Structures are given as structure tokens and as C-alpha cells.
């Protein structure tokens, strides 16, 4: 099965940039027609998709977070990354990477285990 694993700092200071990397195993991030997603869940709230990077490198972002979000990839390492700038405590959440089927539909077949990120000074 495809495996995904998030990595990055668990604590970020307000106004700084949250940076996470997803390592994908047993599946290529360039395989059509999948997209690779960043999803988060704040405490007590539902899941929110921040954005995706498709197999061809195209990116799509949540309108509410677009101005602060950047998703990139390193195909040689089979990694994709999230940068969320100007963070506040409201960005505290469990962050997941996941494989999305297609570039528009919100169907995910594989998930990472999630990583807690806390924004605090």
C-alpha cells in the first residue's frame, strides 16, 4: 500500500512559517491522476483541506487560506511540502497529508498518521 508520513516541527511561533514535509512510499507523486493533499483538523473542529498539488505539479488552494499557503514538491525525493505563513494560534491543528483521487473531488484513499502542530510563543 501507499504510505505517507508527515514530518516537521511540532511547535511554531506566531507570525512564523509552518513548514511540513510529506514523504510518500510505494507510490509516485507523479502518477496520474492523483493529487497530494494537506488537510488539518483544529481541536474540536472538522477537517479542512488547505490545498493540493496534482501529479503534474498544478496547485489548488482553499480560498480562505490561499494567501498564506504554498505547496511544493521534490519529485526526486518523492516528497511534497506545505508552507503556511504568518501563523496564529488558530492554526494549531493536527496536520495530515493524504492522496486524493483526482484534482477536484474530495476523496482520499491513503492518509498519513497526522502530526500535531502547535502555534504558541
pLDDT digits (tens, 9 = 90+) for 71-121: 999 999 999 999 999 999 999 999 999 999 988 888 999 999 999 999 999
User: Could you give the 3-state DSSP secondary structure of residue 6?
Assistant: strand
pLDDT digits (tens, 9 = 90+) for 24-41: 999 999 999 999 999 999
Rounded CA separation 23/79 (Å)? 5
96 neighbors 111 (Cβ within 8 angstroms): yes
Order of strands across the sheet that contains 3-7: 3-7, 18-25, 79-84, 69-74
Amino acid at each position: 500500500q501507499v504510505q505517507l508520513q508527515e514530518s516537521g516541527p511540532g511547535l511554531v511561533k506566531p507570525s512564523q512559517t509552518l513548514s511540513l514535509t510529506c514523504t510518500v512510499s510505494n507510490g509516485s507523486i507523479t502518477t496520474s491522476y492523483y493529487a497530494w493533499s494537506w488537510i488539518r483538523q483544529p481541536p474540536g473542529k472538522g477537517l479542512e483541506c488547505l490545498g493540493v498539488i496534482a501529479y503534474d505539479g498544478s496547485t489548488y488552494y482553499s480560498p480562505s487560506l490561499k494567501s498564506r499557503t504554498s505547496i511544493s514538491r521534490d519529485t526526486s525525493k518523492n516528497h511534497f511540502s506545505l508552507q503556511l505563513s504568518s501563523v496564529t494560534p488558530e492554526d494549531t491543528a493536527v496536520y495530515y497529508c493524504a492522496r486524493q483521487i483526482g484534482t477536484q473531488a474530495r476523496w482520499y484513499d491513503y492518509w498519513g498518521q497526522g502530526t500535531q502542530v502547535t502555534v504558541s510563543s
